[in-house]
Amino acid sequence: MNKYVLISFLCFSFLEVCSQEKADSDGHNKFYYSDGTLSSEGVLENGQPEGYWKNYYESGVLKSEGNRRHFELDSTWKFYNEEGIITQLITYKEGKRNGETRKYNNEGFLVSLIPFVDDRRQGIEYNYFNNGVVRSETPFDIGHENGKAYEFNDKGDIITIRTYQNGILTRQEYINRKSPEKEKNGLWKEFYDDRKIKSEGRFKNGERDGYWKEYSNKGLLLGVTKYKGGQLITDAEEISDLEVREQYYPDTEGQLKFRGTYRKGLAHGTHIWFNISGDIDSAKVYRNDVLIARGDLDVKGLRQGEWEEYFYPTAELKAKGVYQNGYRFQEWVYYFQNGETEQRGLYSAKGKPNGKWKWYYESGKILREETFRNGKENGWLIEYSDTGKVITRGEFIDGKEEGDWLYEIGDHLEQGVYEAGMKQGKWEHFYLSNGEKRFEGEYFDDFEQEKHIWYFDSGKKMLEGKFISGVKEGEWRRYNIDGTVMVTIEYQSDVEIKVDGIKIKLAEKAKSKNKG
């Protein structure tokens, strides 16, 4: 809540008593602006406000209402803008904000949820998209940002990580982003359910490039690999501090039998065994004396044929499949540490996902099915809950959504049509709790178009209005839960010009926006 708003409420009794000569110091009172319009009303005890109070704008529209206990702000107070639309719900105790503060936009959608303790932000602040998906999470401690904050896209994927220390931004990472061509680029991170990093590395034009790290769910580094243009580079680790050991076949002229690297006496890096003819027979990769991979190499050091990879440092089977010229090829299977399959699918000759892929819950139940062609989504994607219910279903063509789609987001189901990755035609949302319609509206090339209607879970209208190419135009109506009209706002090029038929002076509107 802005400081100027707080001051106005804490000081209203003095200012408004001055506008009424005969205030009842122990009873119900009404106070007025200088022009005679009602400014506030409530009970005074010993000349101080107590009980339920209401405050009004000079226009007569309700500005705020709530309770006072022992003369202090108490319980939940409601705040309204000059159009009569609720903008904030603030919980007080003993005159200070304690509990949740909820902020809403003019359309009635929750935009932020802020926890307070004794007038200071304490806990996780949430901000939301209009569809109810969390836009950001920011941790606060004694009024200051402290810890890791996350920003999400409208599908719920983490796209920014910010680190704060006592209110100061100390680090910011932009992650998990795609180019306009829908190709992965820059830093990407995958997380466990508790937000611990599972893997991290960079993409360039949709291919892995540079060092990639994998971690256990306890934060332990499992391994580091290096890619160039999507190709795995063998023995990419710096070897300046590694000791190279070699063994030779006896009774030969220096025929190499084994070559491997060690660090402080422990096997570390790639170990290669040669046959008597000088060809590579097999290879193993170690990390601090623990086997993390085994298979075949060619004379260029590129992985070939069947390989197995293992968790570090516990050595359970992590993945198995075939390499061709340093690229994963054909079918690969990945495992959880408990031995259950985590995912399986095919790779192209250049190491890109190709064909059908499946992901599983640790319980063994199917999580997701998706089809790729040369690294891009191409075909059906179906995602399931852990009970087997379909929660996402749609088709990709060359990496872009196409045709009918549905997906569950938060408390509702969304369904509609995409063309070349853009929303087209009619889209509808339904409440998961009772199946009632939550929203319906038209889109053209991803822009809102024509009439859009939102509904309460009772089925009655909550909001309706018209868009032209994503811009609000004409009359918009906001409804009470009983179906009566709360307020009517007229827009011109996304700017409010009338409220309940009364013109808004642009200067006053600009002043109001600057205050906010």
Angstrom distance (rounded) from CA 292 to CA 56? 70
CA pair distance 456, 393, nearest whole angstrom: 26
At 127-141, the pLDDT tens digits run: 999 888 899 999 999
Position 299 scores a pLDDT of 86
CB 268 within 8 A of CB 286: yes
Which amino acid, residue 278? G
Question: Taking the alpha carbons of 39, 43, 49, 54 in that order, is the dihedral positive or negative?
Answer: negative
Are 186 and 203 in contact, with CB atoms under 8 Å apart? Answer: yes
Cα separation, 81 vs 138, in Å, equals 26
Q: Residue 512 in 3-state DSSP?
A: helix
Low-confidence ranges of the chain (pLDDT < 50): 1-18, 239, 507-516
What pLDDT shows up at residue 254?
85
Neighbour-count burial of 239, counting CB atoms closer than 10 A to its CB (0-12 exposed, 13-18 middle, 19+ buried): middle
pLDDT of residue 336: 93
Question: What topology does CATH give the domain 399-516?
Answer: 2.20.110
**In this structure, are residues 172 and 162 in contact, taking their beta carbons and an 8 Å threshold?**
yes
Can you tell me the distance from the alpha carbon of 372 to that of 149, in angstroms, rounded to the nearest whole number? 33
Q: Looking up tokens 């719900």, which residue turns up?
A: 89
Q: What is the pLDDT of residue 513?
A: 47
Give the Cα separation of 8 and 2 in Å (integer): 10
Note the pLDDT of residue 106.
81
The helix, strand and coil proportions of the chain, stated in percent and rounded to the nearest 5, come to 5, 60, 35
Separation CA 200–CA 310 (nearest Å):
18
Tell me the CB-side half-sphere exposure of residue 334, using CA atoms within 13 A.
12
- Asked if CATH classification 3.30.1490.20 holds for the domain at 3-174, the reply, yes or no, is no
Two structure tokens written together for 420: 């070349």
- At residue 192, what are phi and psi to the nearest 5 degrees? -75, 170
- The residue written with tokens 């064909």 in the block is 355
Q: What is the pLDDT of residue 446?
A: 93
Quick one: pLDDT at residue 240? 52
- Per DSSP, the residues of 274-327 read E-TTS-EEEEEEEETTEEEEEEEE-TTS-EEEEEEEE-TTT--EEEEEEEETTE
pTM: 0.73
- Report which secondary-structure segment, H or E, holds 267: strand 266-267
What integer pLDDT is reported at residue 21 of this predicted model? 54
> According to the model, what pLDDT value does residue 236 have?
55
Instruction: For the chain, give every domain's residue range.
Output: 3-174, 399-516
Q: Which residue has the tokens 């007229």?
A: 490
- For 514, the token pair is 């600057």
Nearest to 502, CA basis, from 38, 36, 55, 59 = 59
d(CA 70, CA 46): 11
